[in-house]
Structure 1
Amino acid sequence: MNRVLRPSDDDALRAALRRLQPQTELPVLFGGGVSGNSLTITSYVGTHSTLLRNLEINAACGLGGRAIAEQRTAVVQDYANSSQITHDYDYEVGTERIESLMAVPVVVRGETRGALYGGLRANLPIGDVVADKMMRASYSLAREIEIRDEVDRRVAMIDTAAVEQVSSREAKISETLTESFLALGEIAAGLQDENLSAQVHAVEAKLRALTAPAEIVSAIVLSPRETDVMRYVALGLRNAEIAERLSLSVETVKTYMRNLMAKLDVRSRHEAVVEARRHGLIL
């Protein structure tokens, strides 16, 4: 089933940053999504250079890496001289003249899915009020991503159910067609009128062609009679019922079944049906 594609989570992150700027009055905001052990900066508000754009932040490095790994807000003042971070990204942060920086992880069901950054271009503390707004934005974004995940999960369930329903319906149609052409073969065999018998056989052949298995290269070859016996087995008929349908003795049907099981290298009727279908011998 064709579904509308899920909007990019980066769009939701950019919207969160745009809402944050007037709320916090932070001069620079940026963020991105997490994939594996790294975060890629994809959204920016108030940046002066392009150095932060698409920058990959390793979870083991920098302030953002610490926030991702520990799944909690990380803050540093006097960024360039801080002993709390690895300084892998000093050049990029320094080019933006950021002196105080906060990184807030976006955690969805125990998994870090992104991070929001807020920076001051002054060696001043980022106050509790601003920090609280940053964390609220993170929680809101996490909730939105969680809802999108749940929608995707439910759509996948619907699509899977639809496919299973179609497969079930197709299997039922195929089974009905098989029953029909086998029954027509029995009817044709009992008709005295040769012309009428030929017409019934022609219809039987058309139905048989509709259920012909896909072209699969198999070393196993069944005779026409073995194929008919196997088809009846697949329909759930017992040996006595198959014997009656094909005007054979029960012992003859048992012989066919022994030969079929030997050819298919199986020990049960169910396994025989599975193997026959796997080799494209029946549907």
Structure 2
Amino acid sequence: MEVRVSRVLRPSDDDALRAELRRLHPRTELPVLFGGCVDDRSLTITGYVGTRSNILRNLKIDAECGLGGRAIAEQRPGAVQDYANSSHITHDYDYEVGTEAIESLMAVPIVVRGVTRGAIYGGLRANLPIGDVIAETMMRSSYALAREFEIRDEVDRRVAMLDTAAVEHGSNRDAQISEGLTESVLALGEIAANLEDMALSAQVLAVEAKLRALASPNPSANTPVANTVVLSPREREVMGYVALGLRNAEIAERLSLSVETIKTYMRNLMGKLDVRSRHEAVVEARRQGLIL
């Protein structure tokens, strides 16, 4: 069996940025907002709210050039009042900024795992400082986008494992492949639960289902074991993390539960599986096909 997952699973990051700019606009009351994603140290502006012309459309901002370029290179927010006369930035984009009558400007980078992936800008058409409240609101939007991009990256990484898993299906997978599949199924479930985009969440869950089916024992290989134990979705999650070798405290952190709750789940699981140790629980759960 060959499983192929279309790379259209990942929506456009530019769309996510544009949506965040629309949400940000009423929260800051800034007259103009814009931004874009970084590709090879160059940012292309693709999102706009409140602009009066097309002058910023698809404008490329080079790293270290202008306020945004400096934010990209330094990976920290920056703001200037009286943009045209500021001595703290280069003035490569004075014409574009001036055409939009922007006098004060703030740029906030979107940083994911140490890499600048984009930036959002907020501007005032007046020679006034951009206050701390507005700055904090823009930074929260930057963090939200960084988290969204990180989740999408993780989905892409997990989906890429399907090709490897497809080759291994029907053969004797080694422990590393089995562990990777288990981790992927659990992670995809967590990712889907954290996504605000319901369509993307549904697609992630569909990938999870394909991966779970792919990792199931080959029905033609051996006589299947009768499934006499039924686990709840949460018990299956806990058991999956136990199979990965996580301690109770680590499982609790992953699932946002208390350690005592995890201990209760473990007592119930050992009772259901009729075992006395975590290792025996993993072996029995795998034997019955309850986990990967």
Could you tell me which residue of structure 2 aligns to residue 108 of structure 1?
A: 112
CA offset digits 1:230-260 (Å, max 9, x no partner)? xxxxxxxxxxxxxxxxxxxxxxxxxxxxxxx
Instruction: Provide Cα deviations, 1:2-34, integer angstroms capped at 9, x if missing partner.
Output: 334310000100011000000000000000000
Give the Å deviation of 1:150: 0.3
Secondary structure of the corresponding residue to residue 96 of structure 2: helix
The whole-number CA distance in structure 1 between the counterparts of 2:147 and 2:108 is 15
Paired residue secondary structure (1:162) = helix
Alignment deviations for residues 44-100 of structure 1 (CA, whole Å, 9 cap, x no partner): 000011110000000020000000000000100000000011000000000000000
**Residue 142 (1) aligns with residue 146 (2):** yes
SS in 2 for 1:119: strand
Report the count of equivalent residues: 168
Provide the rounded CA distance (Å) in 2 between the counterparts of 1:29 and 1:36.
23
Residues 10-89 of structure 1: pairs in structure 2 closer than 5 A: 10-89=14-93
5+ residue gaps, structure 1, are 170-283
The SS at the match of 2:16 is helix
CA distance in 2, matches of 1:80, 1:92: 11
Partner of residue 5, structure 1: 9
Say yes or no: does 1:157 pair with 2:157.
Answer: no
Q: Post-superposition shift, 1:164?
A: 3.9
Q: Look up the match of 1:96.
A: 100
TM-score when normalising by structure 1: 0.58
Write the distance in 1 (CA, Å) between the matches of 2:129 and 2:164.
Answer: 52
Q: Partner amino acid for 2:34?
A: F
Q: What is the alpha-carbon distance in structure 2 between the residues aligned to residue 82 and residue 139 of structure 1? A: 27
- Give ranges in structure 2 of 5+ residues lacking alignment: 173-292
Q: Is the 2:33–2:51 contact (alpha carbons within 8 Å) kept by the matching residues of 1?
A: yes
Aligned residue among 130, 137, 140 for 1:133: 137
Structure 1 match to 2:196:
none
* Per-residue Cα deviation, 1:110-163 (whole angstroms, up to 9, x for no partner): 000000000000000000000000000000000000000001100101222113
Quote the residue 2:242 is aligned against.
none
Counterpart of 1:225? none
AA of the residue aligned to 1:2: V
Residue 92 of structure 2 aligns with an amino acid whose one-letter code is D
Please tell me the residue identity of whatever aligns with 2:48.
Y
2:5–2:159 contact (8 Å) kept in structure 1: no
Q: Which residue of 2 aligns with 1:119?
A: 123
How far apart, in 2, do the equivalents of 1:120 and 1:111 lie?
28
Question: Could you say what the CA RMSD is over the residues aligned between the two structures, in angstroms?
Answer: 1.3
Find the aligned partners of 1:17 and 1:130 in 2 and give their Cα distance.
Answer: 13
> Higher Cα Rg: structure 1 or 2?
1
Q: CA offsets, 1:171-215, max 9 Å, x none?
A: xxxxxxxxxxxxxxxxxxxxxxxxxxxxxxxxxxxxxxxxxxxxx
- CA distance in structure 2 between the partners assigned to 1:116 and 1:48 by the alignment: 18
Equivalence for 2:185: none
**SS state of the match for residue 101, structure 2?**
coil
Q: CA separation in 1, counterparts of 2:101 and 2:87?
A: 18
Letter paired with 1:98? I
Higher relative contact order (CA 8 A, sep 6+): 2
- State the distance in 2 between where 1:151 and 1:163 align: 20
Distance 2:5 2:157 in 1: 15
Identity over the aligned pairs, expressed in percent?
A: 79
